[in-house]
Every structure is written in C-alpha cells, then in structure tokens.
Structure 1
Amino acid sequence: MPADLLADPTIRAWARLLKAQKLLLEGVQAALSEAGLPPLEWYDVLIELKTAPDQRLRLFDLGERIVLSRSNLTRLLDRLEKEGLVTRDNCSEDRRGLYAVLTPAGLAMQKRMWPVYQTAIQNLFGRHYDARDAAQLADLLERPISAPA
C-alpha cells in the first residue's frame, strides 16, 4: 500500500486490521493442523451449533452466524456430515428448509479443538495485550459490528 495512503489513520488502521487477521488466522490454522485437528472453519460451524438452541440452526441462519466460510457452507456441511459431526434435518415449518444439527461426535470434536485454539489465541494475540488493552480493543471493534447498516 502506498505510504501516502498509510498516512491516513483510518486507512492505516484498516490495513493493519486486515494484515493482523490474516496472520492470526494462519497461525491458528497451523496450530490446529500441527495438533492433527480439522480446519478452523469446522470449529466455526461446530461452536455456532453448540451455542444454538437445541444445538441446531437453519442453514440460512448458520450462514449468517459463521465468520469464515459462508460461500462454501454446503460443501463444508457435506464434509462435517461425512465425518459424523453434524446431520441435516428437514424443517417442519418450511419443507424446502433444512437444519444443521450438532451430533455428539461434533460436540466432542469442538471440545477437542478448543484447547488448541485457545492456546493459539493466547500465543498469537493475547500475549501482546494486557486485560485493559484487550477490553479497549474489543470495545473499539464493537462499534462497526453494532452500527446500523
């Protein structure tokens, strides 16, 4: 990025945010891979289903909640279903709709992945910030998340 653009604090912050996200996600993925665990995209789906009512979400709602793999959700669910981590159930309210449902094996996988993910978060990100800095950063990043579209 040209230096004159980075003179603008907003552009510089945006560029740093994108670069940090890329490096942090790559680092987390490497940690999961080294531990013999599935990709971070799998965790993204599993944790959303774990925290959903009855551990199930309509596919549209799941697509709205996940962060990492919206465009490939159907293929991702195919892989998760093949591994027995999720199932798909018909939606009684809408015969065309489907639910993604977390299985006991999916819950077990999420629990296996979390300690590695948590350690990677601390090693790659958390060690750079004290609690006050982390809280301030979270508050700053909440602004565009919560702002009306």
Structure 2
Amino acid sequence: MSTETETTTETNTESPVGEGAGGCIDDDELITAWGLLHEALTTLGPLLLRGIDPCGHDMSGPWFEVLLRLQRSPQHRLPMSRLAREVSLSSGGFTKLADRLERNGYLARQSCPSDRRVTYAVLTPEGLELAEQARRRHVELLRLHVLQPLGKGALRDLADHARTLRDHARERTT
C-alpha cells in the first residue's frame, strides 16, 4: 500500500498513515469518526450510571468503576496504585475518592504483608453489596442503551476495536 496522498480540497485531504490496517483515509472522515465515537461515549456515560445506586440515584463514573473493578477482582481487592491507574485518576484524585468510599463504609485499606509500599483497596461487605446492586442496574442499562441498538455482533466488534485502541495507546504511554 502506498502512503502517497492526494488533496481533494483545502480542508478535505488524505494524510499518510503508513501500512497499518487503516491505510489512507480522508482527514474529515477520520475526524468525524473519532468525534462520533467521543460524542457517543460522552452521551452514553451518564445514561449508563442513571439510578444505579440502591436509592435510585445516579453514581459517578469513577465511584462505579472502583466498585466494579474490586467486585470483579480476586478477594475483591487490588493495589491502590493499580486501581487509580485503571480508573484514570491521579494518585491524589484517587486518594480522595478512596477516602469517600472508606468514610461511607464501602472500602477498606489493607497493607501488603510482603511489601510495605503496597496498600490494597478492599471492598467491605457493604461495598460488595452496593457493587452487586449497581452492577445489576448497570447491566440493564447496557442492554437497553448499547446492546439493543447495536446487536450482539456489532457489540463484539466494538469491544475488539476498543481493545485494539486501548492496547495501542498503552504501548505508547508506558
């Protein structure tokens, strides 16, 4: 595949991207595709957290992500530094979030016996119950707002593409 490009208008050009799976694509088409993906995620985010706490209130994205990741982890615990990285928060931002979760009785901090530098975030029984209830409601909302409009095949394709993008970005940021 050649990386030569042709200008079609002043703002509507094709830029070389090399021999990757994308080949050459019109700049406006690329910007529009990324913009649509970003807009969809930004619009869907709040819908997927609507009313997911047991009182029927919305839950913040980072709060839910922490609960969900801990709920799905062995022994319902993860190193706090890893958890902060996985939910894309600074260490200070994550500490504040962990403090709130701990104050509400949903999270406990646990020292690692073999490495004093590591502190685990661990779900309490109350945190596990909250995570399970929120997860059930979240799955209902995912089925309604993601699976229903896309269908199973497109959802699986989307997950594959998202994994590819995530892995590509991680390779370049570590």
- What is the TM-score of this pair, normalised by structure 2? 0.72
- Identify which of 39, 50, 69 aligns with 1:19: 39
How many residue pairs align between the two structures?
A: 144
CA distance in structure 2 between the partners assigned to 1:24 and 1:89 by the alignment: 34
Matched, 1:50 2:74: no
Report SS of the residue matched to 2:57: coil
Unaligned runs of 5+ in 2: 1-10, 13-25
Give deviations 1:8-58, integer Å, cap 9, x for gaps.
222111111111111011212333378235433222111211222322111
**Structure-2 residue corresponding to 1:9:** 29
Structure 2 vs 1, CA of residues 9 and 31 (structure 1 numbering), >3 Å: closer, same or farther?
Answer: farther
**Identical aligned pairs, as a percentage?**
27
Structure 1, 119-128 or 29-38: larger mean CA deviation: 29-38
Stretches of structure 1 lacking an aligned partner (at least 5 in a row) = none
Distance across 2 between alignment mates of 1:116 and 1:40: 14
- Return the structure number with greater helix share: 1
Distance in 1 separating the partners of 2:77 and 2:121: 6
Alpha carbon RMSD of aligned pairs, Å?
2.3
Q: Conserved in 2, the CA contact under 8 Å of 1:31 and 1:120?
A: no
Check conservation: 1:32, 1:40, Cα contact below 8 A: no
1:37-76 correspondence runs (5 A): 38-66=59-87, 70-71=89-90, 72-76=93-97
- Aligned match of 2:7: none
Matched, 1:36 2:49: no
What SS does structure 1 have at the residue aligned with 2:109?
strand
Q: CA deviation at 1:117?
A: 0.9
Post-superposition Cα deviations, 1:46-100, rounded to whole Å, max 9, x if no partner, equal 1211222322111111112225xx1321111111111111101122233243111
Tell me the TM-score normalised to structure 1 length. 0.83
Distance 1:143 1:55 in 2: 27
Structure with max Cα Rg: 2
Post-superposition, which runs of at least 4 consecutive aligned residues in structure 1 deviate over 6 A? none
